[in-house]
Amino acid sequence: MSRDTLSGEEVAAEVDVLIVGAGPTGLYAAYYAGFRGLSAALVDSLPEPGGQVTAMYPEKRIFDVAGFPEIRGRDLISGLVEQADRYEPTYLLGRYATDLAVDSRGLLVGLGDGSAVRAGAMLITAGIGEFTPRPLPAGDGWLERGVVHFIPEIAAHEGRDVVVVGGGDSAFDWVLALHPVANSVTLVHRRARFRAQDGLIREVERLDVPLITGAEVAEIRGDEHRVREIELELSGGDTKVLRAQTVVAALGFTAELGPIAEWELELDKRSIKVDTTMRTNRERIYAAGDVASYPGKVKLIATGFGEAATAVNNIAVELDPSARLFPGHSTNTG
């Protein structure tokens, strides 16, 4: 909800820039805000910084960050937090941004815990928003007993027989991550063709991992503690039983912007439209990363970093018209 005033909220922080979303783009924006001499606070509904990377892919290898041939998700986030902490941003984690009010002093953003943040400007780096994994139809009742959507600790599955269900990038990423530690890894996909990138598919094929296509999980069997095996229904009508103590349901997820969708921002489906400065249709409100939309957009972590710098530089000028848009390179500072 967008309102002119918010009443009764305790102000948790007063900053130049409120960053909504503490994923990679938000963390880099916090660093860059500090570099520009702006105070910043990060709000995120998750209890730890890192956004989707921390929640879903901490052990997965990331290949599209410049300067790193590959880097684990948790290591990338650790580096970004260390970089941002140089300028001591305020972290308001485990809280949703709910309400937005505009007054003569700038923006006042209400949080789900009843507090609020006052800011001169806001940068929304909320990624895909609030995400919910798509369930495995046969997996009802087996969550926490072997059926998982994400794997925070790869080592916890050492020596297990793992079945990964899905055909996209995430499914193949999990196969690559689990193969070195699991007793066996098998990928099952209901279609004959995969959606994953060709490079990922070739890498998995070189490992000689069984790839079962045209198959769906018909039944999961086990005991009160854990999955023990799954039964597949094959396209020809036959069935196949696989031993499994872990079943990774990598079937994608649904996402919603949540309360942000009610802030009178111009939207493009579940994304926020921005101009070349990363500004939205509302004054002092910008967006960057996967949540930002413009013609030709490519959704990469590397893209988000550049958008964050663009947004913060333009925010600095909007807050202080005498400021320079481009302050120089960080390598020129002590």
17/144 Cα distance (integer angstroms)? 39
Please check if 25 is assigned to a binding site: yes
* Entry field: residues in the chain: 334
Please check if 44 is assigned to a binding site: yes
167/190 Cα distance (integer angstroms)? 8
Packed helices 73-85 and 24-35: angle between N→C axes, nearest 10 degrees:
20
Please check if 290 is assigned to a binding site: yes
Q: Which residues contact 46 (CB under 8 A, 6 or more apart)?
A: 22, 54, 55, 93, 94
Closest CA to 42 of 101, 87, 99, 7: 87
Q: Which residues pair with 186 in a beta bridge?
A: 163
Please check if 131 is assigned to a binding site: yes
Q: Is the dihedral of CA 103, 42, 261, 36 positive or negative?
A: positive
| C-alpha distance from residue 63 to each of 30, 54, 140 (Å) | 23, 16, 34
Please check if 97 is assigned to a binding site: yes
3-state DSSP helix/strand/coil % of the chain, to nearest 5: 25, 35, 40
Please check if 294 is assigned to a binding site: no
67 exposed, middle or buried (CB, 10 Å; 0-12, 13-18, 19+)?
exposed
Please write down the HEC assignment for all residues of 2-37. Answer: EECCCCCCEEEEEEEEEEECCCHHHHHHHHHHHHCC
Please check if 331 is assigned to a binding site: yes
Closest CA to 264 of 105, 100, 55: 100
191/194 Cα distance (integer angstroms)? 7
Annotated binding-site members for FAD: 25, 44, 52, 57, 97, 131, 290, 331
Annotated binding-site members: 25, 44, 52, 57, 97, 131, 290, 331
